[in-house]
């Protein structure tokens, strides 16, 4: 899975899924959506994990984003929409790590009895330091529904096809079944979730083939401060990867495990403007030295929805 977008794409997909399943979500009258964001972050160990490359030092980063969507079908039992997302990171000193991302997507859902069937497709084009870096295609079928009062289950499958412009040995097909259980409470304003996934990646270069798994536990809880309500989220993810073949540089099969803790708070400033602060800490352990490090990213972002 490509490094730069691995956590970002995961967060975007999770946000889209929760927006679709939350029983308190109100339908938006307009067929289009448009959002702009700008933020500033500090990363104490800048890296591109898809290439097993790290700077070994920190940097401050300006981040900009734009996302747009249009509902082609917006009926009670069926939805179909198209979207475009743009993001750009600009490092203060480590400009070789600047990432620009373009995503085109289409997603649809339809009700089938008491369940919802979903299918989405996304195409990503990423640039690293201003040069074409990676094309990624993602197909995601899913089935979801309430299995008991307050309990919502979503089974999904992700297929990634990664094509690198220079690092062709890392070209890969990636298979990733997911199972996520949500427990909604507090009038569906809050939830607890447990997610399990299995990963199989087959690459052009045999040393990069691996199988792995990951578990995530997360919570969302609104915090009433009197003058405003803050949306608080927190989660923990454990990931394990076992590589199928010997890595020549170390003479043995590679392994990797990651523990990631993240927390965020979204503060509404107006009906359309919000500020989000997030802290993410990752401990990445491996018998390949270049992939063994700790990283902490603190980010603040302003977002305006039109």
The string of pLDDT tens digits covering residues 250-288 is: 999 999 999 999 999 999 999 999 999 999 999 999 999
CA distance 183 to 152: 6
Q: What is the mean pLDDT of residues 116-132?
A: 98
Q: What is the mean pLDDT of residues 111-137?
A: 97
> Facing residues of 176 across strands?
158
DSSP 8-state code for residue 21: H
pLDDT, tens only, 6-26: 333 333 333 334 344 434 344
Residue 158 pLDDT greater than 80, yes or no: yes
pTM: 0.87
CB 124 within 8 A of CB 136: yes
Q: Write the pLDDT tens digit of every residue in 211-257.
A: 999 999 999 999 998 888 999 999 999 999 999 999 999 999 999 99
Are the CB atoms for 157 and 141 separated by under 8 Å? yes
Instruction: Give burial (CB, 10 Å; 0-12/13-18/19+) of 270.
Output: exposed
Residue 193: how many CA atoms within 13 Å on its side-chain side? 29
pLDDT at 28: 56
Backbone angles phi, psi at 3, to 5 degrees: -70, -55
User: Coil, strand, or helix at residue 166?
Assistant: coil
- Judge whether residue 4 has pLDDT over 60: no
């Amino acid at each position: 899975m490509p490094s730069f977008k691995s956590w970002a794409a995961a967060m975007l997909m999770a946000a889209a899924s929760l927006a679709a399943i939350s029983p308190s979500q109100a339908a938006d009258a307009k067929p289009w959506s448009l959002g702009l964001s700008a933020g500033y972050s500090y990363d104490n160990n800048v890296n591109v994990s898809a290439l097993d490359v790290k700077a070994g030092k920190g940097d401050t980063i300006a981040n900009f984003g734009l996302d747009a969507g249009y509902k082609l079908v917006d009926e009670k039992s069926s939805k179909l929409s198209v979207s475009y997302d743009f993001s750009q990171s600009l490092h203060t000193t480590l400009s070789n790590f600047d990432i620009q991302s373009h995503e085109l997507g289409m997603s649809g859902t339809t009700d089938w009895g008491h369940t919802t069937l979903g299918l989405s497709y996304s195409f990503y084009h990423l640039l690293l330091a201003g040069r074409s870096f990676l094309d990624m295609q993602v197909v995601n079928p899913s089935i979801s529904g309430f299995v008991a009062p307050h309990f919502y289950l979503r089974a999904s499958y992700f297929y990634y096809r990664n094509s690198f412009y220079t690092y062709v040995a890392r070209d890969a097909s990636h298979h990733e079944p997911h199972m996520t259980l949500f427990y909604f409470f507090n009038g569906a304003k809050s939830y607890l979730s447990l997610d399990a996934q299995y990963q199989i990646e087959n690459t052009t270069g045999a040393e990069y083939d691996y199988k792995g798994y990951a578990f995530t536990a997360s919570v969302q809880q609104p915090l009433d401060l009197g003058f405003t309500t803050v949306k608080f989220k927190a989660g923990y993810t454990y990931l394990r990867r076992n590589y199928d073949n010997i890595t020549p540089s170390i003479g043995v099969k590679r392994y990797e495990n990651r523990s990631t803790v993240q927390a965020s708070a979204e503060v509404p400033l107006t009906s359309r403007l919000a500020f989000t602060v997030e802290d993410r800490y990752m401990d990445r352990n491996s018998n390949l030295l270049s992939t063994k490090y700790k990283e902490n990213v603190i980010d603040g972002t302003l977002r305006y929805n039109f």
